[in-house]
Amino acid sequence: MSKTLIAYFSRTGEQYSVGNITKGNTAIVAEIIAEKTGGDLFEIKVVNDNYPNEYTPLIQFAKKEKQENARPEIIGEVSNIEDYDTVFIGYPNWWAEMPMPVYTFLEKYNLSSKKVYKFCTHEGSGGVHADDFALYGHIAQNDRQQAEKKVSEWIDNI
Ligand SMILES: Cc1cc2nc3c(=O)[nH]c(=O)nc-3n(C[C@H](O)[C@H](O)[C@H](O)COP(=O)(O)O)c2cc1C
């Protein structure tokens, strides 16, 4: 039987163009994907969470982490990763890249035999490869109907 995992990284606090949020933009998209696919959610969270809650310090922090090519340790494990044949990887675009904890995740699990799809939220530079998905963060945050429509179109396509 086909089983789907949706692993994602997402932040609350102050985010670009949406103010102070209590649910991350990418988290919202991840939940919509879970609803559409019946998949299981796994949030990629770091053990030592020192990410600032304000936007400007956060972008500086993330820039440094990227420059250092850091691999922050992440919390917990996906139980029975071998059971999943489809894996969605979700993240906010950070400096035109995936946040470093997503690399920690990807290096931890061997996904080579699985179908892997990526999705991101962003605020202007959402460039993704064919079969992947990008959505403006503020649409995820503020326009549930449009977010659901876009996710549905994508899922139906793949
Ligand atoms: C550290 C940082 C770097 C970012 N870099 C980009 C970028 O390069 N391009 C872009 O379009 N948006 C960028 N953004 C905006 C986020 O991708 C966008 O707000 C996203 O929806 C946040 O998702 P989240 O709430 O799930 O964390 C950046 C935001 C942060 C905090």
Domains in the chain, number: 1
Residue 2 pLDDT grade (very low, low, confident, very high; cuts 50, 70, 90) = confident
Centroid of ligand 1 to alpha carbon of 36 (angstroms)? 24
Torsion angle of C-alpha atoms 16, 21, 27, 33, degrees rounded to 10: -90
Give the per-residue pLDDT at 126.
82
Centroid of ligand 1 to alpha carbon of 122 (angstroms)? 5
- For residue 109, what are the CA distances in angstroms to 47, 112, 128? 18, 9, 22
Scan for tokens 């890249």, then name that residue.
Answer: 97
Half-sphere exposure of 158 (CA within 13 A, CB side): 21
136 alpha carbon, distance to own chain's centre = 13
Q: Residue 51: which CATH number?
A: 3.40.50.360
- Between CA 49 and CA 109 the distance in angstroms is 22
Give the per-residue pLDDT at 127.
76
> Taking the model in full, what pTM does it have?
0.98
Mean residue pLDDT across the chain: 96
Name the strand (E) or helix (H) holding 115. strand 115-122
Asked whether the predicted pLDDT for residue 141 surpasses 90, the reply is yes
Print the domain residue range for 100.
4-157
Residue range 106-110: mean pLDDT, rounded: 97
Q: Is 58 in the pocket of ligand 1 (CB under 6 A)?
A: yes
